[in-house]
Structure 1
Amino acid sequence: MQTIVNPDAVRSYYDYIDAEAYEDVFALFAEDIVYERPGQPPLSGMPEFREFYLKNRPLEDGKHEIEQVVVGDDTVAVRGRFSGVQDGKRVSFGFSDFHRFDADGKITERTTYTDRDTV
């Protein structure tokens, strides 16, 4: 089964996050989503993913600036900067995200790397 890679969905992800349009965010991801990020245990499945974004996300009031998007066979990689608030303090840091797609065009794996210890 061929993977459907959608770089426009990945670009939309950052717009939706910055607008706090979380239902639009969730629509981009598969039910079996696995999300890995620095300093935290992986999130597995849509219930954990939803809870993270709706209740536990440490970043807020921010904006993502996309610097580069690279499309591979089943993955879209993004390099950029985030500026916003984390734990009540203004932050700005670089990030790289990798979004792996399934045959339905949904993001099934997401991995984030930053130049910070935890996000």
Structure 2
Amino acid sequence: MSGGTDAAADLTARTRYYYERVDAGDVAAVLDWFAEDAVYHRPGYPPMLGREALRRFYGGERVIESGAHHLDELVVQDRRVAVRGRFVGRLRDGSAVEVGFADFLAYDADGRVRERRSFFDVPAV
């Protein structure tokens, strides 16, 4: 991941790919985006450590049924990415949701996310 601009463009593309795949419900691609020993910190859940915990979350524990992420800002520095946006969709209980979010990602040398931290502007998802 050397080459400054090329590395930033690569991480930007990888990050956008994640949101496209999660919105499409492509659990296999989402899991592949994470490193084997990744940890995901999300309000309302204990830290999810490793792909099996992530599989349980994305495969059914996640309260979101469907929707789309709209990215307003994406900043890359070294192997870290900060994302700000909003999610518009439907929860598993049938209710509509629109919520602002921020994600902070740390990529490993292989281009997979080893740590993700999510924050929401309201306690919703």
What TM-score do you get using the length of structure 1 for normalisation?
Answer: 0.91
Alignment of 1:37-56 (within 5 A): 37-56=42-61
Letter matched to residue 18 of structure 2: Y
Letter matched to residue 7 of structure 1: T
1:88 aligns to 2:94 (yes or no): yes
Mapped to 1, the partners of 2:60 and 2:66 lie a distance apart of 14
Query: How many residues get paired?
Result: 117
**Equivalent position of 1:11 in the other structure:** 16
Alpha-carbon offset, residue 63 of structure 1? 0.7
Mapped to 2, the partners of 1:40 and 1:19 lie a distance apart of 23
Q: Which has the higher helix share?
A: 2
> CA deviation digits over 1:52-76, x for unaligned, max 9?
0002110122111010100012211
Runs of 4+ displaced beyond 3 Å: none
**Equivalent position of 2:108 in the other structure:** 102
Give the unaligned 5+ runs of structure 1.
none
Identity among equivalent pairs (%):
44
> CA deviation digits over 1:16-47, x for unaligned, max 9?
01111111111111000100011221101110
Alpha-carbon offset, residue 99 of structure 1? 1.1
Mapped to 1, the partners of 2:23 and 2:56 lie a distance apart of 17
Alpha-carbon offset, residue 116 of structure 1? 2.1
Assess if the C-alpha contact under 8 Å between 1:37 and 1:118 holds in 2.
Answer: no
Alpha-carbon offset, residue 12 of structure 1? 0.5
Larger RCO (CA within 8 A; separation ≥ 6): 1
Assess if the C-alpha contact under 8 Å between 1:36 and 1:42 holds in 2.
Answer: yes
Helix, strand or coil at the partner of 1:82: strand
What TM-score do you get using the length of structure 2 for normalisation?
Answer: 0.87
RMSD (Å), alpha carbons: 1.5
Helix, strand or coil at the partner of 2:122: coil
